Amino acid sequence: MLVYRSILLSLLMLYLPAVNAAILENGDFSTCNFAGWERDTDGAGIIASGNDFSINGTAPSCEAVISVDYTDTEAFFANTLFQFLDFSSAGSGPLTLSMDIEVNSELSDIDNSFIADYFVISFFDGINFYSNTGSTGSLFEADINGLASYTLSFLLEPSLTSISNLSLDFQLLLGADDDGFTDLGGSTLRIDNVSITENSVPVPAPSGVILMMISLAALGARTSRAKQLCWQRS
């Protein structure tokens, strides 16, 4: 009886999808901290004196907030929130990157002194920035002109998983005029629900041979059970 059960279990395992560990950690910021993430201001790492990075909300509904050009922020050029990705747990199915983004600015194009700050989302390997297609560039970028929200989703090119030391970067950059001056109006980038998920791949129906093996295993189990009952009755 145990032999037949083992056969059935082995056959079923061939057609069950694998369960993989997370490629990206704490993407929904439900820990209400930056666990799994790293922060950088102007290439100098974390500057503790500023309010460039913060967490908004109460557990478990929190979000990450990046700020620039406020009186209590330190960045001269850019703030970056990033996380190195672990694709070792990825299966063979296509991967999708999703996220919710909200931006806002103290000034907008109705103000004469307005110079738009902007944000860029990309993959980075320490040398080049990449889009979801694996080509150099960015996933998404836009000027910040008042309040705006984005729900973004990207199908990832499989070649990205082979790039070493790849991180997902969220950059908030200060806009400046030709003389390098900003408009002194603050901007924020709010990030939540960041995830990389493996799309389900349709499982092919078992072939005729597999079906026959399952039938034989089931028949063998039934015969074994019948013999056992007969032995118990005698």
Is the pLDDT at 114 greater than 90? The verdict is: yes
State which residues form the domain around 115.
19-198
156 lies in the same domain as 94: yes
Which residues, 6+ apart, have CB-to-CB distance to 140 below 8 Å? 120, 121, 150, 152
63 lies in the same domain as 133: yes
Domain count, the chain: 2
Selection from 81, 125, 91 nearest residue 23 by Cα:
91
Is the pLDDT at 12 greater than 70? The verdict is: no
Is the pLDDT at 197 greater than 50? The verdict is: yes
Selection from 34, 168, 38 nearest residue 97 by Cα:
168
29 lies in the same domain as 6: no
61 lies in the same domain as 157: yes
24 lies in the same domain as 115: yes
91 lies in the same domain as 160: yes
| Stated pTM of the model | 0.78
175 lies in the same domain as 88: yes
135 lies in the same domain as 191: yes
160 lies in the same domain as 105: yes
23 lies in the same domain as 99: yes
Selection from 34, 24, 73, 80 nearest residue 185 by Cα:
73
218 lies in the same domain as 105: no
pLDDT tens column, 146-185 = 999 999 999 999 999 999 999 999 999 999 999 999 999 9
221 phi and psi angles, rounded to 5 deg: -65, -40
Task: Find the CATH number of the domain harbouring 163.
Answer: 2.60.120.260
What Cα–Cα distance (Å) separates residue 226 from each residue in 75, 215, 230? Answer: 78, 16, 6
139 lies in the same domain as 219: no
Lowest pLDDT segment from 13-17, 22-26, 94-98, 109-113: 13-17
